[in-house]
Amino acid sequence: MKRTILFLTAILLLFAACDKDCKIKYPKDLKPIDWENYNDVRTVFWKYYTHEAKNQTDEGKEIMVSGWLSHPKYYRGNTKTMLLFEDFSKTDVNDPIPKESIYIRCYSNRIDTLINICSDLTNKLDTCNFMKKCYVKGILKIDCITMMGRCPERCMPYILIENVDNIYFK
């Protein structure tokens, strides 16, 4: 009997600890995703940042997001992946990456096309003004990872771009 009580207590404590460490606190003032216009980074991030697969039904849809692109000097020579932020003041990625950011990645099914897209993007980023807001149109993807076995999967959104003309600054 003591073993059963100890076992049940241990299970309850395990679940209580996981809930405390793993529970996501969502903002209450989020707008719905606008599939016709540009969405802000905060809305897209929190709509798809989850432990659940419930919002993954939107994966593969074309989405438009606007925000502030981190400067390419932080990409470590790789412009295949960039970060889009809600606020210009958070674009210094030497600081720990804030939660409210979205990865932007070059994409193509063909490696030669992917190389061309990334090369074109590098050229575009060399001449753009990072003080201006960035507008991105691409395919919504959701990437899920397990958090060291204690928490359920965490799913985060990212945007795939297949055409460099789908990124502009204004």
Residue 119 has pLDDT above 70, yes or no: yes
Residue 94: per-residue pLDDT = 56
The model's pLDDT over 56-91, given as tens digits with 9 standing for 90+, comes to 788 999 999 999 887 655 454 455 577 788 876 665
Cα–Cα distance list, 22 to 14, 124, 131, 158 (Å): 12, 40, 35, 21
The β-bridge partners of 107 are none
Residue 12 has pLDDT above 50, yes or no: no
Q: Which of 10-14, 21-25, 37-41, 103-107 has the lowest mean pLDDT?
A: 10-14
**Mean pLDDT, residues 137-158 taken together:** 76
Report the helix count and the strand count for the chain, using DSSP H and E.
Answer: 3, 7
Residue 16: per-residue pLDDT = 45
- CB-based contact 153:145 (threshold 8 Å): yes
Residue 62: per-residue pLDDT = 96
Residue spans per domain, the chain: 25-169
**Mean pLDDT, residues 121-133 taken together:** 84
Single pTM value for the model:
0.74
Contact partners, residue 167, CB within 8 Å, separation at least 6:
104, 121, 124, 134, 135, 136, 137, 161
Return the top range by mean pLDDT from 15-19, 133-137, 147-151: 133-137
- CB-based contact 39:60 (threshold 8 Å): no
CATH architecture assigned to 25-169:
Beta Barrel (2.40)
Tokens, residue 167:
């990124």
Counting Cβ atoms within 10 Å, is residue 138 exposed (0-12), middle (13-18) or buried (19+)? buried
